[in-house]
Amino acid sequence: MTVAAIRPVAIKIDDETKARVKRLAEARNRTSHWLMREAITQYVDREEKREAFRQDTLKAWEEYRTMGLHATAEEVEAWLASWGTDMELPAPPCHK
């Protein structure tokens, strides 16, 4: 397994934000450095998932525009409403 190189990066933040980070880090018994790395990691993870969702949405929209297959809102709502009941319905088929 290869270990990723860790390189320092400088960011500029205002004094108020710096103080807030310091207070929160102290309250969590962490360093400001750890807190900022964690915040950046969580942000990047979340935004990567959001971008993947956006790309899936664009792909689905293009597929719909090309093929025209769909299920109506009423069909999907009826299917979802049946979830967890004794009369659970199968997913509605796509149609033109």
Confidence band for 2, pLDDT divided at 50, 70 and 90: confident
| Section 9-17 average pLDDT | 96
Q: How far apart are CA 90 and CA 83, in angstroms?
A: 9
pLDDT of residue 67 exceeding 80: yes
Domain assignment of residue 81, yes or no: no
For 15-49, what is each residue's pLDDT tens digit?
999 999 999 999 999 999 999 999 999 999 999 99
- Output the pLDDT for position 6: 87
Q: How far apart are CA 52 and CA 60, in angstroms?
A: 12
- Output the pLDDT for position 1: 66
Confidence band for 76, pLDDT divided at 50, 70 and 90: very high
Residue 45 DSSP SS3? helix
Torsion, CA 59, CA 65, CA 67, CA 72, rounded to 10? 90
Contact of 94 with 69, CB cutoff 8 Å: yes
- Output the pLDDT for position 43: 98
Domain assignment of residue 44, yes or no: yes
Total count of domains within the chain: 1
Domain assignment of residue 21, yes or no: yes
Domain of 29, in residue numbers: 15-69
